[in-house]
Structure 1
Amino acid sequence: MPRAAETKDDRLQVRLDAESKSVLQRAASYRHKTVSQFVLATAMEEAEKVIRENEVVTLSGPDWKVFYDALTNPPAPNAALRKAFAKYKKATG
């Protein structure tokens, strides 16, 4: 969230119909905010939610155990993995 000392130099313009503007004004007034404050706060909440949904992985207890076990006790490399590593090493080495 922006700190009070930060300057706000960027601008976002939105075209909307009269009914949409009226709805936003009503909602903003219920929150005791300006329309700009209301729209920015609401948009930021939704943006953060979308980012969390796409960038955060949540595992159940059993799934976490399987994942943790695979990280702490990985299986020995099989032939396909050894071949892929050799190919990678040759391409990058």
Structure 2
Amino acid sequence: MLRAADTGDDRLQLRLDAESKSLLQRAASYRHKTVSQFVLATALEEARKVIRENEIVTLSGPDWTVFYDALTNPPAPDAALREAFARYKKATG
């Protein structure tokens, strides 16, 4: 698999103190990577984790059953929902 650090044209610059740079160099050497490869791989891993935490919904078994039932057997619209839909239609249409 090609890595972005090997094939990309975009550049990301950052400033850091000597201690932070030394720490990154040390960690990168343990992984047998350049600092750029190490930072990119670590940042991408964290980015995927943050996206998963914020974009993927996981439901327990009982919650899934309630959710699925609401999708497959939705309740009939009540007066408030009909009124809201009428306002929406008027505003958008």
Per-residue CA deviations over 1:28-62 (Å, capped at 9, x if unaligned) read 01000000000000000001111111111111110
Unaligned ranges ≥5, structure 1: none
1:65 alignment counterpart = 65
Identity %: 87
2:21 alignment counterpart = 21
2:41 alignment counterpart = 41
1:53 alignment counterpart = 53
Q: CA deviation at 1:91?
A: 1.8
Q: CA deviation at 1:69?
A: 0.2
Unaligned ranges ≥5, structure 2: none
Aligned pair count reads 92
Moved beyond 6 Å, runs of 4+: none
The structure richer in helix per residue is 2
Q: CA RMSD in A?
A: 1.8
After TM superposition, list the pairs within 5 Å mapping 1:3-14 onto structure 2. Answer: 7-14=7-14
Q: TM-score, normalised by structure 1?
A: 0.90
> Quick one: distance in 2 between partners of 1:25 and 1:83?
62
More contact order relative to length (CA 8 Å, sep ≥ 6): 2
> Quick one: distance in 1 between partners of 2:50 and 2:8?
24
Q: TM-score, normalised by structure 2?
A: 0.90
